[in-house]
Amino acid sequence: MTHSIVRLTPAQLIKKYSKPTIQTLALWGSMDTRNSLIISAAFHECQTLGITDVLVGDNADELFGGSYDVMMNKTYLNDPDGWKMKRDGMADLPFVTQKLAETYGITVHAPFMDREFIEWAVRECQQGDCVAYNRRIQSSFGGPFEEQPCGKLPIREAFSTVASWRRMDFIYRGSGASEGRIIEDFYETSVS
């Protein structure tokens, strides 16, 4: 299998994937739709390439402190019990990935959504296992390593590559789909 990159401007992403994404998910909202457009584009590329099964990381941020709510919130710096309560409350959120995948004939495999895995992670993984507030990571590919907060330590350490030690970015930024506020502005001005 070769590496594939989907190259679309934010305007092209919106034009091509808004209608099928909104119809599939029956939702309209800046964050949900914005993030789902990128997933739709990726699944469409998989369909084009004949890929039928995809491994996804849904729930990894939530279980291992990778989300900004848990990782970056200074409230939890010296409050491991508060961190655990917040993390545990996020450990089983719904994801739209499965619905989008079905639209493109893709079977999704989401190991971090497995009930037994969730129960294990909530029981065994504490704040110190998941989050470091002074880990040397990169803010940009090829850039210098700097001390920053980071989450998902079990995953970063298990799959230790240059890419695993980069900063956390929201999907629309990490995918390159963000260009200023074009996606947010589109949805904010298009809602009637």
The predicted-structure confidence for 140-159, as pLDDT tens digits, reads as follows 778 888 888 888 899 888 88
Please report which confidence band the pLDDT of residue 188 belongs to, taking 50, 70 and 90 as the band edges: low
Q: How far apart are the C-alpha atoms of 110 and 122, rounded to whole Å?
A: 17
Q: What is the pTM of this model?
A: 0.81
The predicted-structure confidence for 55-94, as pLDDT tens digits, reads as follows 999 999 889 987 765 556 677 878 889 889 988 988 888 8
Mean pLDDT of 166-179: 62
**Among 72, 189, 81, 184, CA closest to 131:** 72
Q: How far apart are the C-alpha atoms of 41 and 150, rounded to whole Å?
A: 28
Residue 109: what pLDDT? 97
Residue 181: what pLDDT? 56
Residue 192: what pLDDT? 46
Rg over alpha carbons for the chain, rounded to the nearest Å, is 18
3-state helix, strand, coil in the chain (%, to 5): 55, 10, 35
The predicted-structure confidence for 110-142, as pLDDT tens digits, reads as follows 999 999 999 999 999 999 899 887 888 887 778
Residue 106: what pLDDT? 97
Residue 125: what pLDDT? 93
The number of C-alpha atoms within 13 Å of 125 and in the hemisphere containing its C-beta is 24
**Among 45, 63, 57, 64, CA closest to 108:** 57
Q: Does 44 have pLDDT greater than 70?
A: yes
Q: How far apart are the C-alpha atoms of 86 and 174, rounded to whole Å?
A: 24
